[in-house]
Chain A
Amino acid sequence: MKFDDLDVESEIENTWCPGCGNFGLLNSVKQAVKKLEDEGIGRDIMLISAGIGCHGKIFDYLNIGGLYSIHGRESATIQGMKFANPELKVMAFGGDGDAYGEGLSHLIFAAKRNADITMIVHNNGNYALTTGQKSPTSVQGFKGPSSPEGSVNEPINPLRVLLSSDAGFVARGYPGKMQHLTDLIVEAVKHEGFSLVDVLQPCVTFNDTYEKYNELVEVLEKPAETRKEAVELAEEEERLPIGILYKEEMPVYNEKVYPEGNPVEDRMDREERLEAVKKILDEKR
């Protein structure tokens, strides 16, 4: 089906719990995609991926092409798409269990190599789809079916982890501030290089954080000047700053590794290929 006949939001039945923070997130993505389309970044050159969890269902709810990946691997999947054709704009959706636990290594190295991808994490502080177990970002004492006596770990701070992995764009958003989140997503996609949008996503069923977030969330005026200051912002607990915490332009992976090339668009034809192989064979004589 053609995008012209398809709204950004699909007609697939939405099965998120009423009141789930994912609805606001979906709405922001929808608005962001429309904005991007208006700016010439159409769905024809856009691909998405998603992990497995409540968050992943966004893949079905969006009419954007791509590959619905497996748990924790969407950040690797999406890099494959980008590296194969750097002209595409790519976005991956993950959960906190998925992106910060199961697949954290891919995320850290995507930031390290500055792959030009946007990672949106539905951070709801639990493994929702598997019935609310503790996750890497669950607060200490979090009670779930795998931690009935309360989680003993301090949560990881994903923003700090990614900042210290040299991520060039680190942002936090909140679906309760939908317009703000929309703008963040647009900025993240347009940023050339790795971008992370960590979304404070209340899960009404297993971890209802609306009240807390409504009280603590505060829109940042502007990003921190230095990475160090950004880390300080990320570590604040008295208030939760949202917005772009840090932004830095850096050379992106594909331009560092193959500045001119595009593996799927600039191919050698069969004859050139065989000639290249023949040359190497001749060197082995």
Chain B
Amino acid sequence: MKDKDVFTYLIGGKAGEGVKKAGAAATSLFLDLGREAFQMDDYQSLIRGGHNFSVVSTSTREIYSHHMEVDLIVNLDERSRDIHEGHLAEDGLMFYNSDDSGEKDDGIGLPLGDMAKEYSKPDLIKGVAGVAVLAACNGMDQKDLKELIEKEYSRGVEENLSFGVEVYEEVDKKIDKTFELEEGKSESTVLTGNESLSLGAAAGGLDMYIGYPMTPASSILHLFAGHKDKLQVLPIHPENEIGVANMAVGATVPGARVMVGTSGGGLALMEETVSLAGMTEAPVLFVLASRPGPSTGVPTYTEQADLNFALNQGHGEFPLIVASPGSVKEAFFLSNEMLELVWKYQTPGIFLTEKHLSESAKTLDIDLDSLDDDPLETKMAAEDEEYKRYEKTEDGISPLKFPPAEDLIQWNSYEHDEMGYTTENAETVEEMHDKRREKNETLILELKEMNTVNEFNEGDTVIFTFGSTTMSVREALKFADVDAKIVQPVYLNPFPVWELEEYMGEDAVVVEQNSTGQLATLLREKCRIKPKTVIRKYDGRAFEPRELAAKIEEAIK
């Protein structure tokens, strides 16, 4: 069974059975084979029990999404078997825990409960079975399996090895075919979107990361906390999101490059401070890792319903930069770029992403040499000139100066004069509005020189999408019999109308993960693009590529 374009592996079980870890080990195995992989973890907002699964799709070509047509399924419990039976591909293999499900006609039973009982952590260790099954079905020998377990399961390695080998031998006895995946030529790294955006910001000179835990943004905080000494980015976890945002604004005064991260509810709490950053001209980068709302919503799943929320952050008028990456790799370069932009323009930025990109892992290659070694410059005040924090300039950008300094440097949330003293003077109020607007105009000129819209594929029909859904559309087009071009605005505010004008009046298709079609509305309002069809999904799950392909075909044909 060779040369399948995509091979998909899925492991499902209860929270606390090491499901996610097994998914990561599978990804690592594919990586060792030089293959590309995309791993999506589906988990519930609970700590024990429930149903979790990790699905990894792999190919020798670049792969942009997981699939739900699965070639190899490992069910650690009966519920997993019930849920995933229907996902089995033709010719696929399914294993199940016969101690939980009893012997069944379909699939191959393994007495995982009994086997695991002998070990000190009989629940957690079950995940290792998933790795052993994969190894056996892929025709790996025991030595390779051991190496993989040693690499991926450093804690309690003895027990994991012994259990892994036991399962491997059991599987070996029961199967009469193996998949034998072709080796690829990739020399990739694996990153989640959150890891990618964090490292991109760190590469760009981030000094501090401030966050309050909220799925799916928490792992950014964990990354900086875990790599504090290596990256020298100071991680802070304060009392609440309002504290987070206001500490961040304060930290910019002595010149710290600071990023904060949260999800919709947290950003709602920070919103007053987004406006404060606009008024004081404080360069803070806010990561909005979105999940299905409204309110607490469906915390560990994905949705793109916060586009309007991001675009409309903050009361009053001020320049706001909003952008969203269309791939895990783009997350790296975009956070890096946005950090530069918010500093150059001294205004808040929102890095919008969704759980599907934040927490999914993908093989990718990040070439640090491709980072611009001549970053956008932050305008600094000359040493000996008289300093005014809000000096009026032609481009609207006032020079910065940081303490310790001999000069009075005043940032102000009230409307202010050039020195930063509070004012209610009509003329000054108007002038300062103009100053901030000029800054926005300079920003637009800058964006016009930058890559603000991505295009993929060629074709007569245009498919608009944004953020994590870009990944789904790119993968779907591998399976759709259509000639279509994908257009993904990376920058969403200021909206790159100058790039999109050419599509005005076209019969476009829009694909997005929300129920009201927020991107479609934006395209209509800003560019007079009239989408023919808006393909929407709002059940918290990312699009399945082949299902999306069918919808696209239907829309275009």
Binding site for B on A (CB under 8 A): 1-4, 6, 10, 12, 43-47, 49, 52, 57, 59-60, 63-70, 73, 76-81, 83-85, 87-88, 103, 105-106, 108-109, 257-258, 261, 263-264, 266-268, 270, 273-274, 276-282, 284-285
Contact = CB atoms under 8 A, between A and B. Distances in A.
B494 to A, nearest CB: 26
Contacts of A63: 408
8 contacts: A3-B406, A68-B420, A76-B238, A87-B404, A109-B239, A280-B227, A284-B191, A285-B190
Contacts of A64: 408
A84 B276 contact: no
Interface in B395-416: 402-414
A69 B421 contact: no
9 closest A-B pairs (Cβ-Cβ)? A80-B250, A76-B246, A80-B247, A84-B256, A77-B250, A80-B251, A84-B251, A85-B254, A67-B411
A281 B192 CA distance: 11
B276 A284 contact: no
A273 B202 contact: yes
B419 interface: yes
Interface string B169-197: 00000000000000000011111000100
Contact of B205 (A108, A109, A270, A284): A270
Interface string B272-291: 11001000101000000000
Contacts of A59: 410, 412, 422
Contact of A68 (B258, B371, B409, B413): B413
B419 A1 contact: yes
Nearest to B235: A257
Contacts of A77: 246-247, 249-250
Contacts of A88: 254, 403-404
B404 A279 contact: no
Interface of B: 31, 187-191, 195, 199, 202-203, 205, 207-208, 210, 227-228, 230-232, 234, 236, 238-240, 242-243, 246-256, 258, 272-273, 276, 280, 282, 366, 368, 371, 373, 386-387, 402-414, 419-422
B429 to A, nearest CB: 16
Contacts of B249: 67, 69, 77, 80
Contacts of B203: 273-274, 277
Contact of B403 (A6, A57, A85, A277): A85
B236 A45 contact: no
Contact of B255 (A2, A52, A76, A84): A84
Nearest to B187: A285
A22 to B, nearest CB: 15
B207 A47 contact: no
B232 A268 contact: yes
Contacts of B228: 258
A274 B249 CA distance: 26
Given A44-B403, A106-B239, 7 more contacts: A59-B422, A65-B405, A68-B413, A83-B236, A85-B255, A263-B207, A263-B251
